[in-house]
Amino acid sequence: MRLRNIPGSQKIVDESPLVIKEAEKTRGLWKELFGNDHPVHIEVGMGKGKFLMTLAASHPDINYVGIERYTSVLLRALQKIEENPLPNLVFVCMDAADLEQIFAEGEVAKIYLNFSDPWPKDRHAKRRLPSREFLMRYDRILEKNGRIEFKTDNRALFDFAVGELGPAGWQAERISYDLHSDKELMRDNVMTEYEEKFSSVGNPICKYIVYRT
């Protein structure tokens, strides 16, 4: 994602009621925050948030939390949703490396990773959101039968991600190297901003759904 420092974005994020501040205080209390007992699904690296907004509108029985590191990006999501907020969608501005500080063990039912930054240099592999280091973090916050769903058009990142599963104790329930040709997976598919962009120029989209072994 091209990042520009947008003046004032920090203030807008700080003042938005849709962004949970001091989210460590909500650790273990997300159901109370939403005021119901519905499962919590998160997208890590949500960007401008189209994916989660679409899901939240069509699944009022699921609570969604969007995680995004940069205020300049989160601002775009806020601009989109503030006219028409959804009761089951909130955001946290943070580095996903600290997810365990805001979610208690087993508090999350599903994790979405969409078009995660590739970090192509080997020495940055630990920063990749589907790396084994991140899988260990997800392992701690995800409920027992929870799933991670990952999509990308970056074949090198996808191959890396698939290679990380076994050593980290995860197993693939579904793997597709051409999601948009897979009728079954496409039935519930919600396109992300990046997915629209890259599939429109003919890039095949890879997807996995994984669980713990």
Residues marked as catalytic: 117
Smallest separation (angstroms) from ligand SAM to the CB of 177 = 18
User: What is the binding site for ligand SAM (CB under 6 A)?
Assistant: 1, 45-47, 67-70, 73, 95-97, 114-117, 129, 192-195
Angle between helices 155-168 and 132-141 (to 10 degrees): 60
C-alpha 36/C-alpha 53 separation (Å) is 19
C-alpha 89/C-alpha 62 separation (Å) is 9
Q: Please say which residue, 149 or 195, places its beta carbon nearer to ligand SAM.
A: 195
Report angle CA 13, 59, 41 to the nearest 5 degrees: 60
Helix (H) or strand (E) holding 111, with range, is: strand 108-114
C-alpha 204/C-alpha 180 separation (Å) is 7
Q: Please say which residue, 47 or 130, places its beta carbon nearer to ligand SAM.
A: 47
Smallest separation (angstroms) from ligand SAM to the CB of 193 = 4
Smallest separation (angstroms) from ligand SAM to the CB of 132 = 15
Q: Please say which residue, 32 or 203, places its beta carbon nearer to ligand SAM.
A: 203
Q: At 164, which amino acid appears? A: E
Smallest separation (angstroms) from ligand SAM to the CB of 213 = 25
Of the candidates 189, 38, 47, which has an alpha carbon nearest to the alpha carbon of residue 108?
A: 38
Contact 128, 160 (CB under 8 A): yes
Q: Please say which residue, 32 or 80, places its beta carbon nearer to ligand SAM.
A: 80
CA 1, chain centre distance (Å): 15
